[in-house]
Amino acid sequence: MINLNWDLIDKKHKEIMLSLSTPNLDNKERTLLQKKESQYSNLLLINKDLERLDKELLDTQTQLTTEQDQDLKSLFEEEINNIKNKINSLEQDVEDKLYPADEKDERSVFLEIRAGAGGLESALFVADLLKTYTNYALSKNWEVSLIDSNSTDIGGFKELTLFIKGKDAYKHLKFESGVHRVQRVPKTETAGRIHTSTVTVAVLPEAKDLDVQINPQDLRIDTYRAGGAGGQHVNKTESAIRITHIPTGTVVTCQDERSQTKNKERAMKMLQSRILHAEEERKALEIQVQRKQQVGTGERAEKIRTYNYPQNRISDHRTELTLKKLDIIMTGQLDEIIEPLIAWEKEERKKQNSEFSQYFI
């Protein structure tokens, strides 16, 4: 049971409501206050329900102790169990509000995969992960688009970018950010020796216009002919887009669509997402929050996950989970890896300072 000073929470809620009535708030300030107001309001509503259920529980327990009829006693006992279950559920809701998940969890994502240590074998594993994430996304009824890619002669990719559109895509895929280490015998290896290589993955939540304001004068936009499949169209039309954000040097490209306009829109979204991610990393450093970088240098020691093909084993090094079903996981059945990570993240949130830490009794 969580003990909170509800009088102080109610007082703070009233202060937020008063601040919201200020007429000269800008959109960003108003949005932040509205989110806080909603958070406090939801907590207070849950507490009202808890107070009502506590009273019902006490009344029902009193009736049980005074009732002589055995059938009625059984009904009271059943009702007591039902009330307790409702209380437990509401207390869980309180915990979720005290340690809220990332508000970007529900967003779509840009997922970038790059070959790291290991040369051509690393590039081949990029292609394998492309299939895995595509199948996983489709199993969630999300839409998948290959935004940009740089392929190799033997079927792999030096790097690629996916746009995965769907509710809660970031909630599930953000844990893929980091270095993935693969151990297997490469197709090009004649002696049967096991090689170790790495791939880096970065998952960026799709930015919204309110998140990032970009001055058009800070952009350099170039067009070029798209590569890859597409027939004569890609050879004749400069539909691919490259956008450079001059102040930060951030460069994004998109050649997914045949329409130059659509490619430009998609590239702008990707640019906003990268700038938003960089800004959040900068703020985290400023307030000295110890946060591991999503993608390191690609060296083997920085791994978040290991894929061991000879032993059909996959190990996630954050949750210390090991499964002997690598073949199944690589078909896109990632939930058995991702669900424990969602639970792990929730526990990590509890360890961090909460807005409501001052209200604990």
Integer CA distances (angstroms), 258 to 10, 149, 229, 234, 280, in order: 55, 15, 11, 8, 33
For 206-229, the DSSP string reads PPPTTT----GGGEEEEEE---SS
Contact 270, 214 (CB under 8 A): no
Rounded Cα distance between 106 and 119, Å, is 35
Tell me what pLDDT residue 346 has: 84
Q: Give residue-wise pLDDT tens across range 178-201.
A: 999 999 998 767 677 899 999 999
Number of residues in the chain: 361
Tell me what pLDDT residue 233 has: 42
Contact 210, 27 (CB under 8 A): yes
| DSSP strands (E only) in 228-335 | 240-245, 250-254, 303-308, 313-316, 321-323
Tell me what pLDDT residue 286 has: 55
pLDDT in tens, the chain (361 residues): 678 999 999 999 999 999 999 888 888 888 889 989 998 999 999 999 999 999 999 999 999 998 888 889 999 999 999 999 999 999 988 988 888 888 889 999 999 999 999 888 999 999 999 999 999 999 999 999 998 888 888 889 999 999 999 999 999 999 999 999 999 998 767 677 899 999 999 999 988 766 777 888 888 888 887 665 444 444 445 678 888 888 888 888 888 767 788 888 888 888 888 888 787 777 666 544 433 445 555 554 469 999 999 999 999 999 999 999 999 999 999 999 999 999 888 888 877 766 788 888 7
CB atoms inside a 10 Å sphere around CB 261: 10
User: Shortest CA distance to 273 belongs to which of 174, 132, 158?
Assistant: 174
Tell me what pLDDT residue 289 has: 41
Contact 37, 67 (CB under 8 A): no
Tell me what pLDDT residue 192 has: 76
Tell me what pLDDT residue 292 has: 45
Residue 5 bridge partners (DSSP): none
Tell me what pLDDT residue 354 has: 67
> What's the DSSP call for residue 346?
H
* Three-point CA angle 117, 118, 124, nearest 5°: 115
| φ, ψ dihedrals at 39, nearest 5° | -65, -50
Both tokens of residue 96? Answer: 């979720």
Helices (H), the chain: 6-20, 27-66, 70-98, 120-139, 169-173, 232-236, 260-286, 326-329, 335-351
Q: Give residue-wise pLDDT tens across range 338-353.
A: 999 998 888 888 777 6
Tell me what pLDDT residue 228 has: 52
Both tokens of residue 245? Answer: 């954000």
Contact 342, 179 (CB under 8 A): no
